[in-house]
Amino acid sequence: MEAPREEWRSKAGFILAAAGSAIGLGNIWRFPYMTGENGGAAFVLIYIFFVIFIGFTIMLAELTIGRHSQRNAVGAFEAIFPKTNWRFIGVLGIITGIGILSFYGVVAGWTLGYFFKTLLGDFSHLSGEKAAQDIFVGFIRNPVSEIVYLFVFIALTVFIVSGGVSEGIERWTKILMPFLFLLLVLLVIRALTLGSGVSEGLSFYLKPNFSALKPEIFILALGQALFSLSLGMGAMITYGSYISKRENLISSAGYVVFFDTLIALLAGLAIFPALFAMGMTPKGGPGLVFLVLPSIFEKMPFGIVFGACFFLLLSIAALTSTISLLEVAVAYFIDERHWSRVKAAVLTGIVVFVVGVPSALSQGASKWFDRIPLVHMPFLDFMNALFGNYALTIGSFFISIFVGWKWGIAAASKEIELGAEKFSLRPIWAFSVRFFAPLAILIILIYLIVTGRFF
């Protein structure tokens, strides 16, 4: 007789852990710079639309597959339809998780580095944007600190995942998430009271200007929604497998989607008013947080405190996300290969670290990796596009096809209804899982192929 499967201790524990997975660099670093680069409020509106109509749909689909099968991302498909190729969705998910973790760990390492830099006063005498840029570029091109920070971040992730589901993940996120939320609210209050420029920032962020709308915005907004909600690679299948049969999957999915979106919107609310108050441009690109924020904090009273808190907050958010990325592979090795949790976490962590080294060295530290042949981009950007974008989109497509057409709405609904009194959203969800989500994703992929914008 096998030991009963680990379970989240409570509904709040699950929601905090899953929200912790979803909330990360995607919300606080990626969402604001994508919004800044793509015209502000119009991008935000389309992003929210995809979160509601595709994000929620796939979130519920993944949680249902996980809870029904009580297995990892590969085993779940095997349990529902043994000896079919559907399990390769899970295999793709494990590879994707390792791929995302390898570059995500590098950027997460930057946030950790910026926490210490801010605390040590590195940014206290900045003279304008140029000085901030010099510090950033100098930091990311140092091979030693790049690799050390990557190592430290992966080691932290391995340490927490080794502790197990309820002992490790649940306990840590329970402490970390409310803290994160509190810090963000403080930051928003600070940003909104900065004086002139704030209203300009607010109207950029909240008043849509549809005349600047480009077709790419739809693609970028959908990709951002999937990435931010941790969908498309079995992270939510894995987390769903630890939910008790008594819990309500519909409201659980709803809470996770709501909190993730709330944090992203709050991050934008902290960043844009501050940006405009400092007279800077929202088109800072991927360096936005690292280039512009230190200058903003420097010109604020108690800037060192706010700055250090912000980068600590980013590191915490990233850590609760890297935990879920590692857990997908770890759960597979525990369930299917009968490894111990510690062995699975340590060995996978070593692989992630090794795969991550080229990304860590691709930002100017080594000329081998800063321009990959054929795609002409740094190794980190390549991994981001390949795993953080395409693999997730393809994974989400197959997950919706699996639930909508293979497993079926009736069987999935039966699982959903176990812990829910009624499933009144069923017709809408069924339509989205079967038609809307897969078609929208397909259209986007075809658009990318036809216009040759893959990399």
Find the shortest distance in angstroms from Cβ 236 to ligand TRP.
Answer: 8
384 binds ligand TRP (CB under 6 A): no
* Binding residues among 61-100 for ligand TRP as defined by CB under 6 A: 100
Pick one of 54, 392, 401, 412: the residue that binds ligand TRP (CB under 6 A).
392
Rounded to 10°, the helix 56-69/73-80 angle is: 70
- Contact call for residue 393 and ligand TRP (CB under 6 A): no
Please state the separation of Cα 434 from the chain's center in Å.
25
Q: Which is nearer to ligand TRP, 100 or 334 (CB)?
A: 100
- Specify the DSSP class assigned to residue 377: B
Cα angle 326, 118, 18; round to 5: 25
If the CB atoms of residues 22 and 409 are measured against ligand TRP, the closer one turns out to be 22
CA angle 379, 231, 217 (to 5 degrees): 70
Is 230 near ligand TRP (CB under 6 A)? yes
**Nearest to residue 156, comparing CAs of 138, 141, 143, 172?**
172
Residue 400 binds ligand TRP (CB under 6 A): no
Q: Is 222 in the site for ligand TRP (CB under 6 A)?
A: no
Indicate whether 184 belongs to the interface with ligand TRP (CB under 6 A): no
Residue 54, interface with ligand TRP (CB under 6 A)? Answer: no
Both structure tokens of 386:
């390949």
Q: Which of 15, 21, 135, 252 binds ligand TRP (CB under 6 A)?
A: 21
**Cα–Cα distance between 108 and 211 in angstroms, integer?**
35
Name which of 31 and 149 has its Cβ closer to ligand TRP: 31
DSSP 8-state symbol, 4: P
Closest distance to ligand TRP from the beta carbon of 396 (Å): 10
Closer to ligand TRP by CB, 137 or 351: give it. 351
- Closest separation in Å from C-beta 231 to ligand TRP: 6
Q: In terms of C-beta density within 10 A (0-12 exposed, 13-18 middle, 19 or more buried), how is residue 138 classed?
A: exposed
Helix, strand, or coil (residue 278): coil
Asked if 241 touches ligand TRP (CB under 6 A), the answer is: no
Q: What is the distance between the alpha carbons of residues 376 and 167, in angstroms, rounded to a whole number?
A: 44
CB-wise, 300 or 325, nearer to ligand TRP?
325
Chosen residue from 7, 13, 17, 27 binding ligand TRP by CB under 6 A:
27
Report how far apart, in Å, the C-alpha atoms of 298 and of each of 112, 125, 132, 305, 424 are: 18, 7, 10, 10, 51
In the complex, the smallest distance separating the C-beta of residue 23 from ligand TRP, rounded to whole angstroms, is 6
Q: Applying CB under 6 A, which of residues 70, 241, 252, 321 lies at the interface with ligand TRP? A: 321
Member of 77, 136, 227, 255 binding ligand TRP (CB under 6 A): 227
Smallest Cα–Cα separation from 24: which of 315, 271, 253? 315
Q: Could you give the string, one character per residue 323-352, with x where binding to ligand TRP holds by CB under 6 A and - elsewhere?
A: -xx---------------------------
Q: Looking at beta carbons only, is 25 or 440 nearer to ligand TRP?
A: 25
CA distances from 153 to 56, 217, 308, 319 (A): 30, 32, 17, 8
Name the token pair of 179: 């803290």
Distance from C-alpha of 340 to C-alpha of 335, rounded to nearest angstrom? 10
- Distance in Å, CB of 421 to ligand TRP, minimum: 30
What residue type is assigned to position 434 of the chain?
R
- Cα gap 425→109, rounded to integer Å: 41
Token pair of 375 as six digits: 């795609």
Alpha-carbon torsion angle 59, 223, 13, 334, nearest 10: 80
**Nearest alpha carbon to residue 218 among 60, 443, 384:** 443
User: How many residues sit in the footprint of ligand TRP (CB under 6 A)?
Assistant: 16
Of 22-30, 179-187, 204-212, 350-358, which part binds ligand TRP (CB under 6 A)? 22-30
Residue nearest to ligand TRP (CB): 26
Q: Cβ 325 to ligand TRP, closest distance in Å? A: 5
Task: Assess 235 for contact with ligand TRP (CB under 6 A).
Answer: yes
Among the residue ranges 228-236, 242-250, 334-342, 378-386, the one whose residues contact ligand TRP (CB under 6 A):
228-236
- Which residue, 162 or 228, has its beta carbon nearer to ligand TRP? 228
Q: Which residues form the interface with ligand TRP (CB under 6 A)?
A: 21-22, 24-27, 100, 227-228, 230, 233, 235, 321, 324-325, 392
